[in-house]
Amino acid sequence: MPTIPPDIPPDAIGHAVFNTLRGTNAELERFAWLGDDMALAIWRRETTEEETEYLRPGHHTLSCYLGGGYRTERNDLPGLFGSPGRLCTLPDEHESRWVVRDQLRFLHLYFLPQHFTRRAVVELDREPRELTLADRTYFEHEAISRLCGGLAAMQWNGPDASLRLNETAHAALDQLLHAQAVLRRDQKLRGGLSPAVRRRLAEFIDDRLEQPLTLGMLAEQACMSEFHLARMFRMSFGMAPYAWIAARRIDRACGLLKHTALPLQQVADRCGYADLSHFSHRFRAATGVPPSRYRLVLA
């Protein structure tokens, strides 16, 4: 049975759903650490009947059935069974009990709530604290199922493979955000920026990524002190200003490398890096590969 890669201690993964399955008769077929606090696993199960319980895992899970599952059901949804291509989403606060029967093969994508909701600001113009992943059992979504099938079919070893897996997993999460993001129940937001200010700051940053940006510049846009803006920004964007700006620069660099033939120096200039060396260092730290390799693999 495949084991966790030796450079990733099992107790450091922190994926409760993964660890729960390790305590059952489930067989781990493949495992990959994707970076960006994401991990991927394919499991096989074969049993006459066995119960499995998930209790507030603290992370999100996307599950896609690859084979079987015709007699597997959730205790509180009797009579609703799985099948190949069907999806389940288990949010961080999820609790459920399942009865597994016969044969089942499935893919799990594990990711943290903040990784999912960071997209909310850019793609949905919503504050990360407002949204979470829906608790859904056995739904269908053609694009997500296709991406999960692609993940299962890919090579999982080597830096190029890891990059392709990461890119495909991000694409699946983009689809998931639009299809299965829901408002948090009984969530009363306190503090943070107003939607108008949050939007203005996001646009201000994106319009000036090629320039040096300071906390003072952002505070002036929000009509706040630097100290107050830093605290409110973290609440409404899910990360500190410097981290948000760095992430947006990497996002822009990835897009330019994939969709244009611009020389690397021009990519660095358009993303606000001091020089090509600085750009290459930051890009490699964020993606695991230098810009030239990223373009070769994913363009």
Tell me the three-class secondary structure of 54-110, residue by residue: EECCCCEEEEEEEEECCCCEECCCCCCECCCCCEEEECCCCEEEEEEEEEEEEEEEE
Polymer length in residues for the chain: 299
233-249 residue pLDDT tens: 999 999 999 999 999 99
pLDDT at 188: 76
Range of the domain at 288: 195-298
Quote the CA–CA distance of 121 and 40 in Å, as a whole number.
25
Residue 117's pLDDT is what? 81
Q: pLDDT tens across 11-67, in order? A: 445 678 998 998 899 999 999 988 888 999 999 999 999 999 999 999 999 999 999
- Cβ-Cβ contacts under 8 Å for 19 (sequence gap 6 or more): 10, 13
CATH number at residue 292: 1.10.10.60
CATH number where 150 lies: 2.60.120.10
pLDDT digits (tens, 9 = 90+) for 218-231: 999 999 999 999 99
Average predicted confidence (pLDDT) for the chain:
92
User: E strand or H helix at 182, and its extent?
Assistant: strand 181-183
Tens digits of residue pLDDT in 131-187: 999 999 999 999 999 999 999 999 999 889 999 999 999 999 999 999 999 988 766
- Do 206 and 292 have their domain in common? yes
pLDDT attached to residue 106: 98
Same domain? For 29 and 176 the reply is: yes
Domain boundary among 137, 154, 183: 183
5 found inside a domain: no
Given a cut of 90, whether residue 190 has pLDDT beyond it is no
Confidence of residue 200 (pLDDT cuts 50, 70, 90): very high
What is the percentage of the chain residues whose pLDDT exceeds 90?
A: 80
CA distances from 203 to 125, 217, 229, 235 (A): 11, 13, 16, 18
* pLDDT reported for residue 14: 62
* Domain-embedded: residue 253: yes
Residue 67, in any domain of the structure: yes
Are 208 and 178 in the same domain? no
Mention every residue, 6+ apart, whose C-beta is less than 8 A from residue 61. 15, 17, 88, 89, 90, 94, 108, 109, 110
Q: Are 202 and 154 part of one and the same domain?
A: no
Answer whether residue 113 is part of any domain.
Answer: yes
pLDDT at 3: 45
Does the residue 84 lie in any domain?
yes
Statement to judge: residues 265 and 292 lie in one domain: yes
Last residue of a domain, one of 183, 206, 240: 183
Give me the mean pLDDT over the 64-89 stretch.
97
Same domain, 83 and 130: yes
Total domains present in the chain: 2
Would 141 be classed as within a structural domain? yes
∠63-99-88 over CA atoms, to 5°? Answer: 20
Domain boundary among 122, 153, 183: 183
Which pLDDT band holds residue 116 (cuts at 50, 70, 90)? confident
Composition of the chain by helix, strand, coil, percent to 5: 45, 25, 30
pLDDT at position 37: 83
Q: Are residues 72 and 164 in the same domain?
A: yes
> Is the same domain home to 141 and 273?
no
Amino acid at 123: E
Tell me, yes or no, whether 4 lies in a domain.
no
Per-residue pLDDT, 1: 42
- The confidence score (pLDDT) of residue 40 equals 95
> Do 86 and 107 sit in the same domain of this protein?
yes
pLDDT of 260-288, one tens digit each?
999 999 999 999 999 999 999 999 999 98
Q: Is the residue at 204 inside a domain?
A: yes
